[in-house]
Amino acid sequence: MFRDFLLASAHHLLFFGLIAMLVVESALLARLPDAATVRRLVGIDRGYGITAGLLLVVGLVRVFHSVKGSDFYLHNPWFHAKLGAFLLAALLSIWPTLAFLRWRRTQDAQPQLPDPAQVARVRGIIRVEISLVAVILVCAAAMARHGGLSP
């Protein structure tokens, strides 16, 4: 039981950390990023990737080693929806990561602000990721209660 408590706590804290990093990235992209902001974005994005990886690992440990048992998760359509939204957000996050790294390389070669249209696209992708986080939260609530699918 205590292990379940620790895993659930870690899962929730990592998820909130993930949300915070996405919000900070979105806020930093409200203006054209200068060299210092680009470095900050690269660092935050690295933290985002590490946190997402840890979140996935902790989540999988919960699936296969929790009190509820893997059957609860693997036969729950809300779990599949939640995992699908997480994986979609992870795939979408590749674009901002590559953009941040490209901007940093460009800034290292010769300081210049990134293209405003590209910044807007990256900000839009991050906002889609934030929307997927909302979907994940709704799926988690439905999953915990089987979304009213079982008595």
pLDDT digits (tens, 9 = 90+) for 89-119: 999 999 999 999 999 998 877 878 899 999 9
Residue 117: its pLDDT value, please?
95
Residue 112: its pLDDT value, please?
82
- pLDDT category, 135, cuts 50, 70, 90? very high
Among 117, 118, 116, 74, smallest CA distance to 96 is for 118
pLDDT above 90 for 144: no
pLDDT above 70 for 148: no
What are the pLDDT digits (tens) for 52-96?
A: 999 999 999 999 998 888 888 998 999 999 999 999 999 999 999
Residue 94: its pLDDT value, please?
97
Residue 147: its pLDDT value, please?
64
Q: Which residues of 40-61 are buried (b: 16+ CB within 10 A; e: fewer)?
A: bbeebbeebbebbebbeebbee
CB count, 10 Å around CB of 71? 8
Q: Can you give the pTM of this predicted structure?
A: 0.89
What are the pLDDT digits (tens) for 9-26?
A: 999 999 999 999 999 999
Give ∠ CA 24-36-42 in degrees, rounded to 5. 55
Number of domains forming the structure of the chain:
1
- pLDDT category, 43, cuts 50, 70, 90? very high
Please give the residue range of the domain that contains residue 12: 2-148
Q: Determine the average pLDDT of the residues in 133-139.
A: 96
